[in-house]
Homo-oligomer: A and B are copies of this chain.
């Protein structure tokens, strides 16, 4: 891998993506790696991918405060900040409090908190059901003095768009959920660019 440049996948006109999934020999290949191998790959993703000119580089981390976010933080050094994504129920919020502590320890500024899976509208009767409760991430953000960026509802179209590899925002651009995403992006840019 060392001598070859890694070319990111291009989606639409202004989004490029790189993932370990693109580099696996088979669809079901397992990446049975301990931390040092993960560190090495993250380093290559930051240094050897032909990103070209970027406005933003977003690293999507797995949940937790382990090797991956730690490696990203150490390799990137300076960054605009972390965006924390939480589901509303108490056990998830408790995990997210630890992510906030993680950011504080590593002196990473926190851009804000997004509440994901926040409520579900029944497509049959229109009733709103808060399957994973609602509002927990917002309350937590207020308690810690962190900006609350918005609530993303449970939307089956998000699931199918992901499965079919069709970006949700290109295919459901007039949906309520897309408007919520646009508002969240506006808040993030406002926080990052000021």
Contact = CB atoms under 8 A, between A and B. Distances in A.
Given A94-B27, A159-B89, A105 B32 contact: yes
Copies of this chain present in the complex amount to 2
Interface in A140-192: 154, 156, 159-160, 162-163
A156 B129 contact: yes
Nearest to A131: B156
A112 B91 CA distance: 27
Nearest to A31: B65
A79 interface: no
Contacts of A129: 120, 122-124, 156
Interface in A49-69: 62-67
Interface in A4-51: 27-36, 38
A70 B37 CA distance: 14
Contact of A154 (B34, B62, B131, B160): B131
A127 interface: yes
Contact-residue bracket for chain A: 35 or more
A41 to B, nearest CB: 12
A121 to B, nearest CB: 10
Contacts of A29: 98, 101
A66 B33 contact: yes
B156 A28 contact: no
A137 interface: no
Nearest to A163: B90
A98 B123 CA distance: 33
Interface of A: 27-36, 38, 62-67, 70, 89-91, 94, 97-102, 105-106, 120, 122-125, 127, 129-133, 154, 156, 159-160, 162-163
Given A32-B70, A34-B70, A133-B159, 5 more contacts: A29-B98, A32-B102, A91-B163, A120-B131, A122-B122
